[in-house]
């Protein structure tokens, strides 16, 4: 019992979701007769619910994947796990199965806003007794409660997107992927590497940062009031979520400004993705308000400090807003054409 309490203390000492997930998995893995613990991501692919391993314990170490869920070769349809599917449909707190002799599995789903986003899978060599299930549920509930506290501190209260406070940490993790991780995003030994976009090696996969600003948003608040302004922000957050992948990161920086960290894609695709989002916003009907447009500035985020990268994307954004709005501008193109000069460097910073 003392050993278990020490693990719980360690688990709640983390201030990061991934480290918290690794810690709870390590705690569960130390229980007697437990042979494997995995965190499974739940997602939709072409309208079908699927699962894929997101992190697991291997040779005493925690292993995770940065691969895009939709393209992960290890994904499996939820229908392959009938007990877990029934658990999701009935909204029960756990599911159990004995897929083979000497292997007994319990799944513990994580519900967020009435949807299952992930679940912990615990496999052990002996049948799962009522006492063991109580222990598992107790540890899992501590994990869920602490995860909710972390989530609340990291997110914007209005839109549910990540807030400005979490940007530096997420940016550092995003940038650490680098071009090498982008070309082979699977971190597990022996896992299949992602294929280059377009089936060839025409462009390297890189990381991108975009700053997105709602055009004339002050007029929305002045004309329709702040309640409708807030509704526009909430709907904009929903459009952002549906327009980008699960492993990209979206932030609300305050007011009408949003930031997107786009992972592992080519410059050509980044242009297409950001312009597709711009067009999606333009085509969307906002109740009472009508049509809204956005301006976008983006830059590569593989190197440089957050101040440098944000400064570059901001310069591209403001060029977009000062030259017609409702457009996407790439910082390097503007510099190459002479429309912009670099205002932020490693040596000094000019405030503007």
Query: Out of 59-68, 156-165, 187-196, which region has the weakest mean confidence (pLDDT)?
Result: 187-196
Question: Please, is 174 exposed, middle or buried when counting C-beta atoms within 10 Å of its C-beta (0-12, 13-18, 19+)?
Answer: buried
Give the dihedral sign, CA 321/327/328/329. Answer: negative
- Write out pLDDT tens, residues 159-174: 989 998 888 777 766 5
Query: Out of 193-197, 281-285, 327-331, which region has the weakest mean confidence (pLDDT)?
Result: 193-197
What pLDDT, on the 0 to 100 scale, is given for residue 8?
55
Q: Is 58 labeled as catalytic in the residue annotation?
A: no
**Domain 2-154 carries which CATH code?**
3.30.450.40
In the chain, which residues fall in CATH 3.30.450.40?
2-154
- Give the mean pLDDT of 70-88: 91
Q: How far apart are CA 20 and CA 153, in angstroms?
A: 15
Q: Of 10, 256, 257, 308, which residue is the catalytic one? A: 256
Read off the pLDDT band of 22 (50, 70, 90). confident
In the chain, which residues fall in CATH 3.30.70.270?
164-336
**Domain 164-336 carries which CATH code?**
3.30.70.270
What is the share, in percent, of the chain residues with pLDDT greater than 70? 82
Closest CA to 20 of 12, 28, 8: 12
Q: How far apart are CA 352 and CA 298, in angstroms?
A: 18
- Please, what is the angle between helix 306-322 and helix 167-183, to 10°? 90
Is residue 285's pLDDT more than 70?
A: yes
Read off the pLDDT band of 153 (50, 70, 90). confident
- Strand, helix or coil at 202? coil
What pLDDT, on the 0 to 100 scale, is given for residue 173?
63
Closest CA to 141 of 108, 101, 187: 108
Residues 17/39, Cβ–Cβ less than 8 Å:
no
Pairing of strands 294-300, 328-330: parallel
How does the average pLDDT of the chain come out, rounded? 83
- Write out pLDDT tens, residues 248-275: 899 999 899 999 999 889 999 999 999 9
- Give the mean pLDDT of 212-234: 95
Is residue 343's pLDDT more than 70?
A: no
Is residue 234's pLDDT more than 90?
A: yes
Q: How far apart are CA 53 and CA 39, in angstroms?
A: 6
247/216: higher pLDDT? 216
């Amino acid at each position: 019992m003392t050993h278990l309490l020490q693990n719980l203390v360690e688990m709640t000492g983390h201030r990061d979701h991934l480290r918290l997930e690794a810690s709870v998995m390590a705690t569960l893995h130390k229980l007697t007769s437990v042979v494997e613990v995995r965190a499974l991501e739940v997602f939709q692919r072409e309208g079908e619910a699927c699962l894929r391993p997101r992190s697991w314990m291997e040779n005493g170490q925690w292993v995770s994947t940065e691969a895009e869920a939709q393209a992960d070769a290890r994904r499996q349809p939820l229908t392959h796990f009938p007990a877990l599917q029934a658990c999701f449909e009935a909204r029960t707190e756990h599911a159990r199965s004995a897929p083979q002799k000497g292997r007994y599995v319990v799944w513990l789903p994580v519900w967020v806003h009435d949807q299952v986003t992930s679940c912990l899978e615990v496999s052990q060599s002996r049948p799962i007794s009522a006492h063991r299930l109580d222990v598992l549920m107790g540890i899992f509930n501590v994990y869920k409660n602490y995860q909710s506290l972390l989530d609340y501190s990291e997110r914007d209260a209005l839109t549910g997107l990540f807030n400005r406070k979490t940007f530096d940490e997420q940016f550092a993790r995003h940038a650490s992927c680098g071009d090498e991780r982008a070309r082979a995003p699977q971190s597990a030994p022996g896992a299949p590497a992602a294929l280059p976009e377009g089936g060839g090696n025409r462009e390297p996969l890189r990381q991108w940062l975009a700053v997105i600003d709602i055009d004339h948003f002050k007029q929305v608040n002045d004309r329709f009031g702040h309640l409708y302004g807030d509704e526009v922000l909430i709907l904009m957050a929903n459009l952002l979520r549906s327009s980008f992948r699960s492993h990209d990161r979206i932030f609300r920086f305050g007011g009408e400004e949003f930031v997107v960290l786009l992972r592992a894609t080519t410059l050509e695709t980044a242009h297409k993705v950001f312009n597709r989002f711009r067009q999606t916003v333009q085509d969307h009907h906002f109740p009472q308000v009508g049509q809204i447009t956005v301006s976008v500035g983006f830059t590569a985020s593989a190197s440089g400090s957050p101040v440098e990268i944000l400064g570059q994307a901001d310069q591209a954004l403001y060029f977009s807003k000062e030259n017609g709005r409702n457009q996407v501008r790439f910082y390097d193109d503007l510099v190459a054409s002479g429309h912009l000069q670099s205002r932020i460097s490693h040596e000094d910073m000019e405030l503007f």
